């Protein structure tokens, strides 16, 4: 059970607060896809009065233009986002073709990313998630968030991602990042996989392509019946980044899949299935999960 779900046992289900951080020339689809998924997720199927997520957009200026020329009106600037950062459960970083300019100039949302991770370290009692779409993971890597973790990015940027993460490791704690050619990768997933892993339909103990073993979830309705739990504050504090759930996705459609995973993890599998049906999207549920205590 997620922290958000557990908090609702004795009262109304809270709305999960999501912050999108945009940089100039962001990828429009990398923003719009996750927004559509999360905006159509409800705690009670087909009941808009039970909306699960509230999305807020932060940018350096009131209007920020995507790489395709679409201008989006920001709800808040980065100063306000930093001031209110503790109010957000999820931070989403869309990528785009000019992410490297952000890295070279050391501009936002790099500071916001670091602050969100540090917030989780200092306060592991709250469940927080950091999600990157496509080349957004390059910013996470540059910020040092991915040290000691596994991650993916847009397929055209695998080599660049490895270089960025190695440079971050030299600047930081010398922990390497395992850059994977995957749909999306979840670190600190924080759900119980059960005692008999061989019987769990979400676990692939050996990859069918013969590559290195990983703990991977397979899409199945059995997830609805799986035992989940929320860690104690002490256990969460011992996890990487204070238990911050870090998800990196490979591109536009991978971002949709990762967003649906979030709906399933934080609301319900049924809600995620309904969102996919409503959007007429074929959900690829395959996800590589790292950093789980089993």
Q: What is the secondary structure of 210-239 as a DSSP string?
A: S----EEE---GGGGGS---PPPHHHHHHS
46 pLDDT above the threshold of 70: yes
| pLDDT given for residue 238 in this prediction | 64
> Is the per-residue pLDDT at 169 higher than 50?
yes
21 neighbors 15 (Cβ within 8 angstroms) = no
Specify whether the backbone of 190 is left (phi greater than 0), alpha (psi in -120 to 50) or beta.
left
Spatial distance between the Cα atoms of 108 and 127, rounded to a whole number of angstroms: 23
Pick the range with the lowest mean pLDDT from 8-22, 97-111, 149-163, 239-253.
8-22
Task: Place 120 in a pLDDT band, splitting at 50, 70 and 90.
Answer: very high
Mean pLDDT (whole number) for 233-254:
79
In this predicted structure, the answer to whether residue 272 has a pLDDT above a threshold of 90 is yes
Calculate mean pLDDT across residues 78-91. Answer: 97
Residue 228 has what pLDDT? 37
- Residue 284 pLDDT class (50, 70, 90 cuts): confident
Higher pLDDT, 236 or 142: 142
Residue 230: per-residue pLDDT: 42
> Comparing 226 with 94, which gets the higher pLDDT?
94
Q: Where are the beta strands (DSSP E) in the chain?
A: 16-21, 53-59, 63-65, 71-73, 76-77, 90-94, 129-133, 150-151, 178-179, 184-187, 215-217, 245-249, 287-290
State residue 280's pLDDT score.
Answer: 97
Report yes or no on whether pTM surpasses 0.75: yes
For residue 109, is the peptide bond before it cis, meaning its omega torsion is within 30 degrees of 0? Answer: yes
Q: Give the pLDDT of residue 229.
A: 36
User: What is the mean predicted confidence (pLDDT) over 155-164?
Assistant: 97
Q: Which pLDDT score, from 0 to 100, does residue 125 have?
A: 82
- pLDDT reported for residue 235: 58
- Bridge partner residues of 214 (DSSP): none
Which range, 2-11, 47-56, 199-208, is most confident?
47-56
The pLDDT, as a whole number, for residue 201 is 38
């Amino acid at each position: 059970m997620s922290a958000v779900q557990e908090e609702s046992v004795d009262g109304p289900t809270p709305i999960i607060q999501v912050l999108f951080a945009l940089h100039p020339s962001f990828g429009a689809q990398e923003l719009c896809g996750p927004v559509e998924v999360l905006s159509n997720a409800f705690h009670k199927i087909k009941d808009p009065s039970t909306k699960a997520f509230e999305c807020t957009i932060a940018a350096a200026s009131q209007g920020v233009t995507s790489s395709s020329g679409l201008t989006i009106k920001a709800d808040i600037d980065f100063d306000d986002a930093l001031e209110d950062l503790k109010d957000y459960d999820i931070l989403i970083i869309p990528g785009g073709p000019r992410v490297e300019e952000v890295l070279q100039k050391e501009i936002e949302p790099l500071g916001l990313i670091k602050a969100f991770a540090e917030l989780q370290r200092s306060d592991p009692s709250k469940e927080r998630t950091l999600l990157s779409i496509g080349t957004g993971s390059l910013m996470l890597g540059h910020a040092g968030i991915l040290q000691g973790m596994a991650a993916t990015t847009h397929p055209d940027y695998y080599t660049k991602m490895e270089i960025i993460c190695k440079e971050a490791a030299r600047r930081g704690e010398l922990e390497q990042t395992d850059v994977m050619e995957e749909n999306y990768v979840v670190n600190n997933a924080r759900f119980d996989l059960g005692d008999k892993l061989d019987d769990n339909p979400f676990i692939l103990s050996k990859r069918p392509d013969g590559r290195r073993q990983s703990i991977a979830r397979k899409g199945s309705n059995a997830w609805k019946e799986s035992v989940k739990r929320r860690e104690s504050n002490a256990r969460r504090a011992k996890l990487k980044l204070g238990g911050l759930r870090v998800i990196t996705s490979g591109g536009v459609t991978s971002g949709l899949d990762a967003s649906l995973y979030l709906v399933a993890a934080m609301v319900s599998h049924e809600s995620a299935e309904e969102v996919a049906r409503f959007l007429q999207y074929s959900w690829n549920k395959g996800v590589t999960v790292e950093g789980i205590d089993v």
